[in-house]
Amino acid sequence: MSLSMTDSLLTNEVQEYEDNNNYIREKLKLIISKNTKYNLRELSRYLNKNDAYLQQYLYRSTPKILPEEYRYKLSNILEIDVDELSPKWTKDYSNKTEQVSIRNIEKDDLSKTQNISFSKHLLNDLDLSKLESLFFFQITTDQCTVTNIIDININSYKEPGLYLLNDKNIYFLVYLDVNDQDNNKISVKPYLKTFSPFHIVKNALNISARVIWQSSKIFLK
């Protein structure tokens, strides 16, 4: 294949990519314009973004595409299929890569994304034979959204590591380790530094799951 032909094919692919992204933006504009319940500011806040986030996406192409997390959230609140907001090239990629869908442990909170699809290649270190026991939990810091895959079959302290606790139906991520001075107590260090560490007897912990995989690079803010 000649260099000029290769350049031509690449140019066509780039143009198709841009055209498809523009098509999605125009489609979302139309969907929102027909929805009398929400405006762009309210929807941006629903995504936990600044008031102008969707305005900039739709009219300035910043960002070029909506992250998967936000596409799912918008599809939930606008009551549409998430494919309506997904560029064709993302679906083409998904079809070529074997995916596994994992549910949100906070499934009763409709304001949150209910499912996330991961490439099996990305999770090749995990045992996916008991997928029904795997869920995801997300926590937002100042820099990004951290996505954790958790195993609800591990609901007691086994060894030092990250665990998901449940306090009055509120989940929070912590690092657990045995207290150096008292083996009957556990040292609890909350993942978010806005909360202080504390010690607690082992049988008083309400452990929901253990974190078996974590990423802070998939859904950057």
Q: Residue 30 belongs to a domain with what CATH number?
A: 1.10.260
Do residues 57 and 128 both lie within one domain? no
Instruction: Please tell me the pTM assigned to this model.
Output: 0.55
Number of neighbours of residue 15 by Cβ within 10 angstroms: 10
Asked, for residue 108, whether it belongs to a domain, the answer is no
Number of domains in the chain: 2
Give Cα separations from 77 to 43, 68, 82, 127, 187 (angstroms). 9, 15, 11, 33, 40
Pairing between strand 99-104 and 115-119? antiparallel
pLDDT of residue 105: 92
Residue range of the domain that includes 92: 3-96
pLDDT of residue 91: 58
pLDDT of residue 135: 94
Do residues 147 and 178 both lie within one domain? yes
Q: Mean pLDDT, 10 residues at a time, over the chain (221 residues)? A: 39 61 88 85 88 91 81 86 76 59 81 76 77 90 82 92 90 90 88 88 90 65 35
Asked, for residue 110, whether it belongs to a domain, the answer is no
pLDDT of residue 123: 78
Give strand pairing partners of 187.
Answer: 177, 199
The number of residues making up the chain comes to: 221
Angle made by CA atoms 9, 11, 14, in degrees to the nearest 5: 110
pLDDT of residue 164: 96
CA distance 14 to 158: 50
pLDDT of residue 3: 40
Q: Determine if the peptide bond prior to 63 is cis (ω within 30°).
A: yes
Query: Are 106 and 173 contacting, i.e. CB atoms less than 8 angstroms apart?
Result: no
Query: Are 136 and 102 contacting, i.e. CB atoms less than 8 angstroms apart?
Result: yes
pLDDT of residue 111: 63
